[in-house]
Amino acid sequence: MLSFPIYLDNNATTPMDPRVLEAMLPYFNSKFGNAASRNHSFGWTAEEAVDYAREQVAKLINASPKEIIFTSGATESDNLAIKGVFEMYARKGNHIITVNTEHKAVLDSCKHVEKMGGEVTYLSPNEDGLVNLADIEAAITPKTILISIMYGNNEIGVLQPIEEISAIARKHDILFHTDATQAVGKVPVDVMAQNIDLMSFTAHKMYGPKGVGALYVRRKNPRVKVTSQLDGGGHERGMRSGTLNVPGIVGLGKACEICQNEMADEAVRLSKMRDRLEKELLTIEEAYVNGNVEHRLPHVANISFKHVEGEGLMMGIKDLAVSSGSACTSASLEPSYVLKNLGLDDDLAHSSLRFGFGRFSTDEEVDYAIDHVKTAVHKLRDMSPLWEMYKEGIDLKSVVWQEH
């Protein structure tokens, strides 16, 4: 039985796994203690729960529990990593290397660093979304202190060559941070084997609650430090003050444990769904997959349907919750900067849909999505002047458009 609307936007957020909710519930009422209260059992119970969650989280990424700093989510983790390294390593240098398809939390933290006197190099990826290793190498200066490159992209799912990037960072004695928000819990991530120095991730992308995440901060070879961005009680080894969100942290821990046990099978199941959807939708004329199709997350497909506008298309499939690279609002008529920075023409970026599958997606839902997207694309092409012109053989690039 299908229930509507169908949620296919699991890269935006995931529903909570009922097992996660169950684990969290006692920490809202009966076990409500402050994990920093050292003088009574309420505090000890909360602290134990946090310690246990820290182990669950660390295990998933092959870290030591002491290397996990709990935060409010990946945005805060990215801010702490980038601004914190910039401040802590000011004596060593002021240059950061990143990529222009990163999440805004990374890009805007870098912009902040620039305002504070830092220098940032924003690399452009290849048109398939992968960063060019030679470009990283070429951007390094004696002042470079940090390379920040995401693990898996939130819009197109492309997985960057993490081991190769960290090898370059190591060779030049530069720290390596990765925003792994979309990857942790979806693909195997190993901070030891992959030589990751700092890593951001969050609970709500892996069937945990919103409002809690973590920053992995390496403690050995090298020992990494970040300057705290919140002043207060000196929680989390002085790197992140603020009373711990115990229920949230318990939820993050449980979510990590479940992912650890189920990730391998889940990835196979979701990539089958993704491949089936993609194969079917690519039978539509002038439909294109955005991003590299070999190195990518198992659960995301980003497809452009030429000469159909994404937002209009989404209205035609209103029973499906997906997202589009088109953002037709007065604040910004600009389509997705990620797609644009791949070198995609604006019209193709405006024509894109992102499908994100998740733990609770079913084959029946995929069938429904395939049917309805096909119908909507055909309907909208019948009313698209661009499609008509394309069919008449008019080169749309040669048309002088009346921009407004």
Partner 1 sequence: MAYSEKVIDHYSNPRNIGTLNKDEKNVGTGLVGAPECGDVMRLQIQVNEESGIIEDAKFKTFGCGSAIASSSLATEWLKGKTVQEAMEIDNMAIVEELALPPVKIHCSVLAEDAIKTAINDYREKQGLEAIV
Please list, residue by residue across 4-25, b when 16 or more beta carbons sit within 10 angstroms of its beta carbon and e when fewer do. eebbbbbbebbebbeebbebbe
The Cα-based distances of 212 to 62, 162, 247 in angstroms read: 20, 24, 9
Q: What distance in Å separates the CA atoms of residue 123 and residue 131, rounded to the nearest whole number?
A: 8
Choice between 265 and 403, CB closer to partner 1: 403
Choice between 1 and 331, CB closer to partner 1: 331
Size of the chain in residues: 404
* Residue position matching structure tokens 């941070």: 177
User: Closest approach of Cβ 338 to partner 1, in Å?
Assistant: 16
Q: What distance in Å separates the CA atoms of residue 233 and residue 269, rounded to the nearest whole number?
A: 45
User: Closest approach of Cβ 12 to partner 1, in Å?
Assistant: 16
Q: Which residues contact 175 (CB under 8 A, 6 or more apart)?
A: 85, 89, 145, 146, 147, 169, 197, 198, 222, 224
Q: What distance in Å separates the CA atoms of residue 400 and residue 389, rounded to the nearest whole number?
A: 13
Contact 248, 257 (CB under 8 A): no
User: Closest approach of Cβ 157 to partner 1, in Å?
Assistant: 23
Q: What distance in Å separates the CA atoms of residue 209 and residue 291, rounded to the nearest whole number?
A: 29
- The token pair at 396 is 């749309």
Choice between 19 and 379, CB closer to partner 1: 379
Q: Where do contacts with partner 1 occur on this chain (CB under 8 A)?
A: 307-312, 315-316, 326, 328-331, 333, 335, 345-347, 350, 382-388, 396, 401-404
Choice between 254 and 350, CB closer to partner 1: 350
Return the SS3 of 98.
strand
Please list, residue by residue across 372-399, b when 16 or more beta carbons sit within 10 angstroms of its beta carbon and e when fewer do. bbbebbeebbeebebbeebeeeeeeeee
User: Closest approach of Cβ 403 to partner 1, in Å?
Assistant: 5
User: Closest approach of Cβ 376 to partner 1, in Å?
Assistant: 11
Q: Which residues contact 231 (CB under 8 A, 6 or more apart)?
A: 241
User: Closest approach of Cβ 284 to partner 1, in Å?
Assistant: 16
User: Closest approach of Cβ 306 to partner 1, in Å?
Assistant: 10
Choice between 199 and 342, CB closer to partner 1: 342
Choice between 231 and 382, CB closer to partner 1: 382
Q: Name the DSSP class of 94.
A: -
256 carries an active-site annotation: no
Choice between 255 and 313, CB closer to partner 1: 313
Q: Which residues contact 108 (CB under 8 A, 6 or more apart)?
A: none
Catalytic residue of the set 110, 256, 259, 328? 328
Residues catalogued as catalytic: 328
